[in-house]
Amino acid sequence: MIQVDVVRQPSGRISSFTMEGHAEFAEHGKDLVCAGATAVSFGALNAILSLTDAKLGIEQGEEGGLLRCLVPEDLPADIDEKVQLLLEGMVVSLQTIEREYSKYINITFH
C-alpha cells in the first residue's frame, strides 16, 4: 500500500509530505495506482520547481517507494501561496485516486 502523510500547520499550511510504499495493485510496470500517484506527486513538485523560486527539501528512495518533501518556513508570501496552491492540487488529485483505490493508497493528515 502507498501511505501518504501530509503535515499541516495549525494555519492549514502544508509544511511537508511523505509518500512511501508500493500500491501492489498490479505487477511492476502495469500498476495504475502507483503510476497515478507518482505522476501526481512528481508533477506537483516539478511544477513548484519550474514555476517558483522555492528551494524544497526533497528526498527520494533509491529503488523508488519513497518521496519526501519539506517546504521551507521562510518563503516569501507570494511564493508560498503558489507552492501551497500546487500542493493542495496534488492532495486533491491523490484523494481522487484514494476514493477509487482505497485498498492501495491511504492519505493521512497530521
Task: Confirm whether 110 is a catalytic residue.
Answer: no
Which of 38, 48, 42, 43 is closest to 85 using CA atoms? 48
Task: Confirm whether 69 is a catalytic residue.
Answer: no
Read off the C-alpha cell for 34.
502507483
| Measured CA angle at 60 (ends 81, 29), to 5 deg | 110
Residues marked as catalytic: 22, 34
